Amino acid sequence: MTRASTPEDGRDHLTGHERAAPMRPGPTGPLRGVRVIDLTRAVSGPFCTMILADLGAEVIKVEPPSGDLPRFSGPFTKDDTTRGIGGLFGSINRNKLGIVLDLTTPADRERLLRLTDTADVLVENYRAGVMERWGLQYEALHERNPGLVYASIRGFGDPRTGRSPYVDWPAYDIVAQAMGGLISMTGPSEGETVRVGPTIGDLYPATLSAIGILAAVIHARATGEGQMVDVAMVDSIVSLCETAVYRYSYTGAVSRPTGNGHPQLVPFDVYPTKDGECAIAAPTDNHWKLLCEAMGRPELVDDERTRTNGDRVANARLVQSAVRRWAAERTTGEIVGELGGRVPVGPVNDAADLFADPHLRARDMLVAVDQPAGARPVVLPNCPIRFTATPSGVYRRSPLLGEHTAEVLARLDADAGAADSGLRNPPPETVRDDGP
């Protein structure tokens, strides 16, 4: 496959924005008109609210005066002189308005209460008990705004839906992956476990929370009844490891690492090539026949040791040896060219390869996002949820710390004045969007 240039190629800096899709001019997703108050920090909460913002919701991110943890931790581009939007923060806080409130002070807690009075959703991922100490717990907000959907993401959940013995424990991605069973079944071989590369212990509960929020919003709009949506990071990973759960229940077998292979499907693996690695999956009889023909081994189609998937599982060493030998004599591009469209196949892409991938370009899955103070654009993954009538996407960079505080609070005051005068507030989707 064609590899994108990297700093090791002798070039000054890889940007990639010239090959990425442009930002959308404004919010066009199906959640326009939904207002979300975002009290989240770090990764899981911001990723959840990012999904909602990508789908068109107005998300108001509330930060303390010191800012969210990843905001200043980098990385930064070479020409970024403000250094106010680190890479992780910029990636998962796009499409949001940013305000600063010091919730340790009564005045700012009152401002937040006024904001939640106008909101459809509030999302937070503090440890259990923090919101209670501020008087901002679910019950207090629900009393003021009965239709509010209140969502929390915590390591071990909220006591309101089931009290865990670990309710007071802090948790990060690696803890969720470990306690949820994911690490125990991931690795190159039995006895060598590894954490999954992406922070799936954060991202999967964030995604489930977004689904739960949308379900609760539908219920609230139909009945006027808001409710709490509670997602525990560890619970989410347990649900992701459903294979290990049912396998143990059915057979008593404990799932262990199997490398890139599959214990019930053969061939189904990543194979070294002359210039990289390639994923090949041919567990069905038809795909196996096509693969055998491509490998020049038609006799394996009717061989009693390899005729069916069950036969191939029983004789995995024979099958894997044949496929590995064939793949090692060819480049990844040659294998993809031979099998593409016939047998499930794909190159093992690294980050540089993604910038040259024709599928991602055709689908506009990489988007160039403008940055403040004249810094060059950075490239982020686009929203993968697509609609024919209400397109999702990235239309605003992540905010600088407190960038929209004055605007949001002024609008709040104006809405309150209009309400006191008996005037109807304009729906959120009619508010003019001035971009980043």
CA angle 403, 90, 198 (to 5 degrees): 150
Q: For strand 277-281 and strand 268-272, is the pairing parallel, antiparallel, or unpaired?
A: antiparallel
Contacts of 91 (CB under 8 A, 6+ apart): 380, 381, 398
The beta-strand segments (E) located in 52-196 are 58-63, 96-100, 121-124, 149-154
How many helices (H) and strands (E) in the chain? 16, 11
Cα–Cα dist 54/396, whole Å = 10
Q: Which of 120, 158, 202, 235 is catalytic?
A: 202
Phi, psi of 219 (to 5 degrees): -65, -45
H runs (alpha helix) in 93-158: 106-117, 130-133, 138-144
Closest CA to 125 of 86, 156, 96: 156
Cα–Cα dist 60/117, whole Å = 13
Whether residue 34 contacts residue 390, with contact meaning beta carbons closer than 8 Å, is answered with no
Question: Residue 347: which region, alpha, beta or left (left: phi > 0; alpha: psi -120 to 50)?
Answer: beta
Whether 202 sits among the annotated catalytic residues: the reply is yes
Closest CA to 43 of 282, 264, 203, 253: 203
Report residue 434 as tokens: 């001035």
Contacts of 115 (CB under 8 A, 6+ apart): 37, 60, 62, 408, 412
151-190 per-residue burial string, b: 16 or more CB within 10 A, e: under 16: bbbbbbbbeeeeebebbeeebebebbbbbbbbbbbbbeee
CA angle 3, 326, 262 (to 5 degrees): 85
Closest CA to 46 of 91, 92, 108: 92
Q: What is the dihedral of CA 413, 84, 65, 398, to 10 degrees?
A: 40
Contacts of 436 (CB under 8 A, 6+ apart): 370, 372, 396, 397
State the catalytic residues. Answer: 202
